[in-house]
Every structure is written in structure tokens, then in C-alpha cells.
């Protein structure tokens, strides 16, 4: 059964989408297999491994972040790789990015190590069926979009080099989900100190992440935090992902403690 948070995020996603990507979102949101795998990924991540949220709420937030980034870039006249290479248009790019964002952490249902590849193993048939629905009879687009989806999934940890703007958006969108809510459950069930706790406490310090129009570059990311430990999350997670993303040149990044001057990173 979906949580209130999931339902609210679903309504928000649906309310901000249109065209083919809206139909795509409705298909994935209502896919029983996706729902089961996302929930179980969170069970493994939080209960078994004591990590932050890697479940349905996180994956919805990443999809929402990705759509925001793409919309801003599109409004600024930036063309994504499918259009630059005369393969498709912005809607096709949105479809690839949405699928990758919405499914990217399902591999956490197996474990942390190599979960990007495990996501592809677990979702291969789901992705194939969705793309048959989105591109009936067009095998070329089905295969190209599938490859782009896989690049976005494989690249979201920043451990494998990616080359498309589409995959770069997924990488940054994932890094932007760092607000305190991601660490809420692990903090509640804390069972003693261990190596890696800095990720939970730094995430808990992040109050809000804003993705808006920039002043010098198209996309402005602004991170507001309650305590300085939040800078760890910005510098060791978000900045590393942005530095590895092909969309870096379109981003300006600010972060700071609420009530104090913001620090500019990019």
C-alpha cells in the first residue's frame, strides 16, 4: 500500500507533466512490479543495511528533480543528445530520463554493491514493455531509448563515465535528493555508531534543496541547511556528481546555513 508521501508525490508528478511523458508516468506509477520492487529496495536499504531512503519516495523525488532540470534547460534553448544527433526530440529525451530516474535504485533490493547493474537486471523486462507501449512498432527508438535509460541508471552513482546530457541530468537529480527526510527512518532506528554515519547526519542537516532558473547559468541549485555538517553532503555527494556530469557547465551551485551568507561552489 502506497504511503501518503508517495501519493502526494505521484499527484505532483502527474500535475507537472504532459504529453507522452505524462502517459509514461501514469504507466510506471501504476505498475505493480515497480511498486513491489521499490518498496523492497527500501526495506533492504533501511532495515537491513541501515542506509538512507532508496525507495519509492526517493525515486519519485529524483524523477521530479530531473524533470525540473530538463524543463529549465529546454527553456534556455539547450538541446539534448537525441536532438543534437538527429535521433529524436526533447520528449524522447524526457522519456529516457524519467524511466531511468524512476527506476534507478531498484537494484538496492539485492544490495548496495553494484546495485546500478542489478537495477538493469531486475527492470529489463519492465523497461522493454514500457517502451513497446511508448513506441509501438518502432524497434529503433525502443532500443535507442533503452540504451539511454541504461546509461542513466548505470551512471547515477558517478562510478562509471557517462556521455549524454540525458544521463547527466539523472546523475545530478539523484544528488539533489538530500533533504533531511531521507535520513529520518535510519536515525529513528539507530542501533549504535558506525563508519558511514556522517551520511545520515549530514543529510538530516539539509533543510531544503531548490532547483530554479539561474542568473549566469541556466540551472541554479541552492542547498539550505540547519547545521554546517550539511556541507559534507554538498561537497562529498552533490559536488562530486555534478563534476562528473555532462550538464555541469549549465549549473550554478549555492549552499549555506539558513540565515547566513550562501557559499557559491559553481
The DSSP letter of residue 227 is S
CB 135 within 8 A of CB 145: yes
- β-strand 251-257 against 206-213: which pairing, if any? unpaired
pLDDT, tens digit, 9 for 90 and up, residues 53-106: 678 999 999 999 999 999 999 999 999 999 999 999 999 999 999 999 999 999
The x, y and z cell numbers of residue 9, run together, are: 508525490
Question: What ranges in the chain are assigned the alpha helix state H?
Answer: 4-15, 19-29, 32-42, 56-75, 81-84, 90-103, 115-134, 139-154, 165-176, 184-188, 197-205, 230-233, 239-243
pLDDT for 191: 52
Give the number of domains in the chain: 1
- The whole-model pTM stands at 0.91
User: What percent of the chain is modeled with pLDDT above 70?
Assistant: 92
pLDDT for 183: 44
The x, y and z cell numbers of residue 204, run together, are: 538530516
Does the pLDDT of residue 52 top 80, yes or no?
no
Range of the domain at 246: 4-264
pLDDT, tens digit, 9 for 90 and up, residues 138-196: 999 999 999 999 999 999 999 999 999 999 999 999 999 988 754 444 444 455 555 45
Mean pLDDT calculated for residue range 13-37? 95
The x, y and z cell numbers of residue 234, run together, are: 554538498
Amino acid at each position: 500500500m502506497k504511503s501518503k508521501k508517495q501519493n502526494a508525490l505521484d499527484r505532483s508528478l502527474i500535475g507537472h507533466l504532459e504529453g507522452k511523458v505524462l502517459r509514461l508516468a501514469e504507466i510506471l506509477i501504476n505498475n505493480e512490479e515497480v511498486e513491489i520492487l521499490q518498496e523492497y529496495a527500501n526495506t533492504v536499504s533501511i532495515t537491513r543495511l541501515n542506509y538512507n531512503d532508496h525507495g519509492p519516495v526517493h525515486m519519485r523525488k529524483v524523477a521530479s528533480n530531473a524533470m525540473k532540470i530538463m524543463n529549465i534547460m529546454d527553456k534556455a534553448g539547450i538541446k539534448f543528445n537525441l536532438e543534437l544527433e538527429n535521433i529524436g526530440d526533447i520528449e524522447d529525451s524526457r522519456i529516457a530520463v524519467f524511466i531511468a530516474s524512476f527506476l534507478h535504485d531498484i537494484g538496492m533490493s539485492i544490495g548496495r554493491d553494484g546495485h546500478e547493474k542489478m537495477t538493469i537486471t531486475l527492470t529489463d523486462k519492465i523497461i522493454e514493455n514500457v517502451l513497446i507501449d511508448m513506441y509501438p512498432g518502432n524497434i529503433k527508438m525502443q532500443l535507442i531509448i533503452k540504451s539511454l535509460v541504461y546509461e542513466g541508471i548505470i551512471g547515477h552513482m558517478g562510478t562509471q563515465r557517462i556521455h549524454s546530457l540525458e544521463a547527466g541530468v539523472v546523475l545530478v537529480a539523484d544528488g539533489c535528493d538530500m533533504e533531511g527526510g531521507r535520513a529520518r527512518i535510519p536515525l529513528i532506528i539507530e542501533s549504535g555508531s558506525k563508519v558511514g554515519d556522517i551520511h545520515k547526519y549530514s543529510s538530516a542537516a539539509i533543510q531544503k534543496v531548490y532547483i530554479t532558473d539561474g542568473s549566469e547559468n541556466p540551472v541554479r541549485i541552492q542547498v539550505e541547511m540547519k547545521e554546517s555538517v550539511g556541507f559534507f553532503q554538498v561537497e562529498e555527494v552533490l559536488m562530486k556528481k555534478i563534476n562528473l556530469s555532462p550538464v555541469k557547465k549549465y549549473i550554478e551551485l549555492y549552499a549555506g546555513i539558513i540565515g547566513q551568507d550562501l557559499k557559491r561552489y559553481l
